[in-house]
Structure 1
Amino acid sequence: MRDITELRETRAKLAAARAAITSSVEARGDSHANPKESEAFRRLTERIETLNDEIEEAVRAGQDNPQARAVAGAMARATNCNRPGADAGTRIGDRAGAGDWASRAADAIWAANSFDGETRAITASSIDLPSMVLPQVVPMERPKRVIDLLVDRAESPSNAFEFWQQTTRTNNAAMTADFATKPTSTFTVTPVEDRLRVLAHLSEDVPNRLWLDYDELRQFLITELYQGLLDALEEQVLNGDGSGENFEGILHASGTTAVAFDTDVPTTLRGALSTFETSGVQPTGWVLNPTDAAALDLLREGGTPDLFVLGGGYQNGPANSANIFGDVPRLVSPRVPAGKALLADWTKVRLFTRGGILTMLDPFSGFATNTTRLRSEMRIGMGLLRPSAFAVIALSA
C-alpha cells in the first residue's frame, strides 16, 4: 500500500491538471471542451476516483493516525529486538524513544502476547479476522464511448424543447449591374419540436448488511447504474428507431449523407472524406465496429504477409494511414453495426438534459426481507442539428 501522503500529493496534481483543462476552455471563451480535452478530463477523473479509493483504504488502515502509526513502528522495533542474533532480553523500553506513549503501548501489547520469550498462540483479547469479501469491487471493462464525442449539451428549461435544423443552402450570390434585381439565395431551416424522455433502470434487491459493511459496494453499484445510463444513451443516439419512447438515432435518421461501397473498404472510406471536403463539413470523428477496424489493420497488399495496406492501421493515430482517414480522431465501438462506419461532425448533435442524473434508494419496500433497491434515471433529449453532417458508410456491396 502506498503512503497516504504520496497518494494525496498525486491526487492534488491530477486535480490541478483537470482544473487546467477547464481554465483553458474558459480562457478561449468556449462553452464546451474539444474531444481531446474531454478525453483527457475523463481519464484524469478516473485516476482521481481510483486514488480516492486508495486513500480511503489507507485511512481505514490508520495511515493518517499518528498514534496508530507510532504503535505500529514501536511493535516493529520490538519484533526486530526479538529476532535471532539480537541482544538477549532486549525490550522496547531499552530502545530510543522508549519513554513515549507509543513505546509504552507497544510494551503492553508485547507483554500480553509473550511468555518467557515464547509467543502465545491464543490471545485473551478480541482479534480482527481477515475479511472474506474483497474490500474493493473491480468493475467489468467498457468499450470506449461515442458519447464522449458529443460535446454540445444544453439544459432544457422545460420538458419540451425546440431547435432549428438546416435543410437547404442554395447560394446564388452573383455580380449584378446597377438597377438590376439581385439574385435570391435560399437557406431553409426547419423548426423541430420534441420532448425529453426518461432513461432509467433499477438495481436488484441488495441486503442491507452489505450496505453497512462495505462502503465500496455502495459506490460500485451507484457507479454501475450511472454508467449503465450512459451506455443506453449511446445506444439510443446511434441506433434508436424512433418508436415509442426511443430516439430517432443517427443510423435511422433521414437526411444523413449515405456513402455507397466503392471498389474496396479503403477507397470507400476515403470517398466519404472527399464528400465532406467537397461540401465543407469538418468531421470530428470516425467510428468503426471492432471487426471492421481489425480487418482494416490486417489488410495486406496482394496477400503479402508483411506488406500491410495501412502502414499505421486504423487505431494507431495518423501514422501512415492518414492518406485514408486524414487527421480526424478515430474510435472503435461495438455499437456501430459491422459493415457500417460513421464519419461525422459530432458537434452537430445536441443533447438536451434537465436536472442531470438522479440516483435514489428505496429502503422501505424491502422491509420484510431487509433489502434495499436503487433507481437511477435521467431526463434526456436529442437533436440532430444538421443530419447531412453525418455520413453513414457502407463497407460492403
Structure 2
Amino acid sequence: MDIKAIRAEMKTAIDAGKALLAKADTEGRELTEGENAELKRQLGIATDCKNRIERAAEDASTRDALKAIGDDIAASTRPVRVGQHPVVKASGGTDWGETVLRSVSGATGFKGLLESGSIPLTVPLKPEPIRMGVPVLALRQLIPAVQGPANFGYMRQTVRTNNAAPVARGAKKPTSTYTWKRVDDRTRTIAHMSEPLRRQDLRDAPSLERMIDLEMRLGVELALEAQIINGSGSGENMTGIANVSGSQSQAWDTDLLTTLRKAKTKLEVSNWLDGAAYVVHPNDWETVELLANNEADYYLGGPVQTVEVSSRRVWGLPVVSTSSQTAGTAHLVNFGVATELQIAENIELTWRDTVYDPDALGEGVGASDYELNLLRFRAEMDAGLKIFQPSAIVEVDLSE
C-alpha cells in the first residue's frame, strides 16, 4: 500500500473541503445544497483514506517503513481536544488548536514537514447568546458585528429631541429634532507574535492547544476589548465608548449601588434601557459583591435581589467584569443600539520559520529559525468600531 499516495489523496480531499468553507465565509453566506453535498463527499474520501492508513499502520513492517522516511505514527488515534478559555468561548469559540495541529502534524496525527503558512479563522459574528442566569463573559457577546471593507462611513446621532404629541385634525404637526453627523472611519489591525517555539514541542497537542487556542486568540480578544472601551481615536486606536462625544454621565451619589441605579435611570429616561449592560473593573465588581447591610449581611437578599452574584447582574442588568475597564469608572451601555463592530479581515494565524536572529547563538553568531528548528506564530485581525448612539452610553463615576 502506497502510504504517501493515500496521504496525498487525503490532503487533496481536505483542501477541497476547506476551499468550499473558505468561499462561503468570504462571501458571507451558508453553504449551498450542492456545496454541502460536495463537502460531505470530500469528507468521506478523507475518512476512508484515514482508515486505510490506520489499517496499514497496524502492520509492523509498514510502521518501520514509515519511521524510516521520517513519519511518526504516535498518537494517531488520540482525539484532538481543544481547550477553551471562557472569554474565547463566549466570543464565539475557536478551533485554532485542532486546525493548526492538523496542519502541522497531518490529519491523522502523523508528524510531517511543516511549511510556513497561515490559517484564516472566521470571526464569530454571532457569539454565544446572553442567557438568563448565566454571566456575560466577553464584551463581544453584547456587540453586533458585520463583515465589511476596511474603510467605512456611518451616521452618528448627535441630537435626539422627540416632540411627538397628540394633534388636532388640520393642525400643524410638531417637529422632532434628530440630527445626524457622518463619521468616516477605518478598521485597525490588532496583532501579536509568539516567541520562537521548538518544532518538536508542537507534536504535543495539549501544549499546542494552550499556546494557540488560549494565548494567541485570547490576546487578540483582550486587545480588542480594550480598544472598544478605551480607544483614544488617534493613530492606530479606535474611538472607544469612553472617548466618544455625546455620551451621558452619572456622578457618584451616596454609595456604589445607588450610583449604578441612577445610571440605569439615565437610560430608562432616554428609552435606551432594554438590552443595556454594565461594564466594570473586577475590583469594582468585588466591591459590589462584598457590600453588606448594617447587620454585616452581604447585600444579596431582600424582596428584590439587588445583586445576583452567580449570574453577575446588578439592578437586573448584566455586568461585564473586565480589566480593560478603568477602575473607579463604569459604563452602562445599550451595545445593541449604540455600537457595531465592522470586520474587514477575519482573524488569521500565521507561522514562519524564516526569521533570522543575528545573535541567536551568542553575540554576533546568527542563525535562522529554520536552522534551529523553531517556529513563530502571529495572530491578527482587522476591525473597526461604529458608535451610532452616544446617548445610549452612560459613563459612571464610582469614585467616592
TM (norm. structure 1) is: 0.59
Cross-structure match for 1:316: 309
Cross-structure match for 2:384: 381
What one-letter code is carried by the residue in structure 2 that aligns with 1:219?
E
Match of 2:293 among 301, 321, 324: 301
Q: For residues 109-168 of structure 1, what are the alpha-carbon distances to aligned partners after superposition, in whole Å with 9 as ceiling and x for unaligned?
A: xxxxxxxxxxxxxxxxxxxxxxxxxx9998988697442333310111x22011221221
User: What residue ranges of structure 1 are gaps of 5+ in the alignment?
Assistant: 1-30, 32-58, 69-134
Contact (CA 8 Å) 2:289, 2:309: kept in 1 or not?
A: no
CA shift for structure 1 position 291 = 1.9
Structure showing greater radius of gyration is 1
195 and 315 in structure 1: CA distance in 2 versus 1, 3 angstrom threshold: same
Q: Map 1:283-294 onto structure 2 (within 5 A).
A: 283-294=275-286
Aligned length, in residue pairs: 266
Match of 1:344 among 325, 333, 345: 333
Between 138-147 and 327-336, report the one with greater CA deviation: 138-147
Separation (CA, whole Å) in 1 of partners of 2:306 and 2:171: 57
Cross-structure match for 2:192: 201
What one-letter code is carried by the residue in structure 2 that aligns with 1:246?
N
Contact (CA 8 Å) 1:315, 1:330: kept in 2 or not?
A: no
CA shift for structure 1 position 336 = 1.7
Separation (CA, whole Å) in 2 of partners of 1:346 and 1:316: 22
SS of structure 2 residue aligned to 1:391: strand
Q: Within the alignment, does 1:183 sit opposite 2:186 as a pair?
A: no
Contact (CA 8 Å) 1:284, 1:328: kept in 2 or not?
A: yes
Provide the aligned C-alpha RMSD in A. Answer: 3.5
Structure with the higher helix share, 1 or 2:
1
Contact (CA 8 Å) 2:142, 2:335: kept in 1 or not?
A: yes
Contact (CA 8 Å) 1:137, 1:217: kept in 2 or not?
A: no
Match of 2:396 among 377, 385, 393: 393
Separation (CA, whole Å) in 1 of partners of 2:241 and 2:282: 19
Separation (CA, whole Å) in 2 of partners of 1:355 and 1:318: 33
Contact (CA 8 Å) 1:165, 1:385: kept in 2 or not?
A: yes
SS of structure 2 residue aligned to 1:286: strand
Cross-structure match for 2:122: none
Separation (CA, whole Å) in 1 of partners of 2:387 and 2:241: 8
Q: Map 1:64-83 onto structure 2 (within 5 A).
A: none
Q: Map 1:1-397 onto structure 2 (within 5 A).
A: 145-156=137-148, 158-176=149-167, 180-211=171-202, 213-223=203-213, 224-281=215-272, 282-302=274-294, 304-305=295-296, 307-311=297-301, 312=305, 314-316=307-309, 325-347=314-336, 348-365=338-355, 366-397=369-400
What one-letter code is carried by the residue in structure 2 that aligns with 1:248?
T
Contact (CA 8 Å) 1:149, 1:346: kept in 2 or not?
A: no
SS of structure 2 residue aligned to 1:198: strand
CA shift for structure 1 position 286 = 1.8
Contact (CA 8 Å) 2:158, 2:181: kept in 1 or not?
A: yes
389 and 176 in structure 1: CA distance in 2 versus 1, 3 angstrom threshold: closer
Separation (CA, whole Å) in 1 of partners of 2:250 and 2:326: 15
User: What residue ranges of structure 2 are gaps of 5+ in the alignment?
Assistant: 1-28, 30-49, 59-79, 89-135, 356-368
Q: For residues 232-281 of structure 1, what are the alpha-carbon distances to aligned partners after superposition, in whole Å with 9 as ceiling and x for unaligned?
A: 10011111122210112112222111001112212111111112111111
